[in-house]
Amino acid sequence: MSTSRVVVLGAGIAGAATAFGLARRGVSVVVVDAGLEGRATDAGAGIIQPWSVSRGGAFYQLYADGAAFYPSFVSALTGHGAPDIGYRRVGSLILSADEAELDAVEERLAARAADAPAMGAVQRLRQGEALARFPLLDPTHSAVWIEGGGRVDGRLLRAGLLAAVRKLDGMVVTDAATLEPTDDGFRVVVGVGEALVADAVVVACGAWSSSVLAPLGVSVPVEPQKGQILHLRVDADTSSWPVVHRVSSSHYLLAFDGGRIVAGATREFGSGFDTRVTAFGVQELLRNALVAAPGLSDAEIIETRVGLRPLPLSNSQEPVVRRLDVGGSVPLWVNAGFGAAGLTMGPLVGDRLAAEIVSAL
């Protein structure tokens, strides 16, 4: 059993997954979270389907590895007493009225299938055939069906991770934390002045990570990107309905139990930390949702959630996960910048980072 103590700043998916990875390796963990409005994890749709994305390289590989990690990750969470996180493999539909677009999607999936067994079977569906899987869709769209597509509830996932951390004797503190420079590097101060003892610190504060790091004179290439996501309710058993994407749009639909349909999402560059629901944002969400699924026209609008995605600014668009050189005796890591991919990549990256930290202590 380790006697090391790691302080994790931030309890979104990046911080909570890192904390769980540390705690299950026997490390004493303290998670500190300010509870700021706009945390991306609380608003995220929770789509787990990386294989159809056009982006390749290291980003795609991490995305695919994150999806493949989910079954063992969920098993580990369950084994440590976490409640249901809303994870289910329900499949995914890629929609288009343009057969050539779907041909390109099928070709991309075929090229990746051998290295991505989690993708499962891929099937072309003719006009109208997708209605059997998601009855509200436009029947004039054809589709590609991906068996391995899934979804997870971001709020339940976060709660499950933190519950498991507590069961492993970790602490979760809701308060603001500050990194204060000292003669020997820095210290973590919580609230009005309590300094936490730490053998290592992880900054996993999403879009706020650079603000937290600023007192130490460092920053990370991450900025907030506002995403508005609409939640609707229909009178149907939606528990097994698949995730829906349109080829020509970044918008999507996915269903949860109880008739809940999630329609997302806006991608508002340069948004700063604005968490308002706007008329233009809701109009965009409804317009795109009804193009894909006209049957939603009679759905009840439940709520609109707003999340500030930590958007990575590097050309590769990979998350920023590394040890920072700030001097002193306490090592400092950062885990941020997942953009819209956090709920897929986050559990795997957090676990890998936890292993790296343990080996360095």
- The model's confidence at residue 2, banded by pLDDT at 50, 70 and 90, is low
The distance from CA 179 to its chain's CA centroid, rounded to whole angstroms, is: 26
Residue-level pLDDT at 1: 45
Query: In angstroms, rounded to a whole number, what is the distance separating the alpha carbons of residues 106 and 3?
Result: 51
| 173-179-183 Cα angle (round to 5) | 135
pLDDT in tens, 217-240: 999 999 999 999 999 999 999 999
Residue-level pLDDT at 170: 96
Residue-level pLDDT at 193: 82
Closest CA to 185 of 203, 169, 163, 201: 201
Buried/exposed 305-337: b ≥16 CB within 10 Å, e otherwise:
bbbbbbbbeeeebbbbbeebebeeebbbbbbbb
Give the neighbor-by-neighbor strand order of the sheet with 320-324: 171-174, 28-33, 5-9, 200-203, 332-336, 320-324
Query: In angstroms, rounded to a whole number, what is the distance separating the alpha carbons of residues 81 and 77?
Result: 7
Residue-level pLDDT at 274: 96
102 has a pLDDT exceeding 90: yes
| Residue 358: count of CB within 10 angstroms of its CB | 17
Query: In angstroms, rounded to a whole number, what is the distance separating the alpha carbons of residues 187 and 144?
Result: 52
Residue-level pLDDT at 276: 97
Closest CA to 86 of 232, 255, 251, 237: 255
Query: In angstroms, rounded to a whole number, what is the distance separating the alpha carbons of residues 12 and 317?
Result: 19
Residue-level pLDDT at 184: 87
Cβ-Cβ contacts under 8 Å for 274 (sequence gap 6 or more):
226
String of DSSP letters for 304-342 = EEEEEEEEE-STT---EEEEE---SSS-EEEEE--GGGH
182 has a pLDDT exceeding 50: yes
Domains and CATH numbers, the chain: 5-41+155-221+317-360 (3.50.50.60), 91-148+223-312 (3.30.9.10)
Structure tokens given for 231: 């939640």
pLDDT in tens, 302-352: 999 999 999 999 777 889 999 999 988 899 999 999 999 999 999 999 999
Mean pLDDT of 199-214: 97
Helix (H) or strand (E) holding 215: none
Q: What is the pTM of this model?
A: 0.95
Q: Where are the alpha helices (DSSP H) in the chain?
A: 13-23, 40-43, 57-79, 99-113, 154-167, 209-213, 279-292, 342-360
DSSP one-letter code for 103: H
242: helix, strand or coil: coil
Query: In angstroms, rounded to a whole number, what is the distance separating the alpha carbons of residues 138 and 146?
Result: 19
Query: In angstroms, rounded to a whole number, what is the distance separating the alpha carbons of residues 300 and 284?
Result: 17
Query: End-to-end alpha-carbon separation of the chain, Å?
Result: 13
Q: Left if phi > 0, otherwise alpha if psi is -120 to 50, otherwise beta: which for 320?
A: beta
Mean pLDDT of 28-40: 94
Mean pLDDT of 131-137: 95
Mean pLDDT, the chain, as a whole number?
Answer: 94
| Residue 250: count of CB within 10 angstroms of its CB | 12
Q: Left if phi > 0, otherwise alpha if psi is -120 to 50, otherwise beta: which for 150?
A: beta
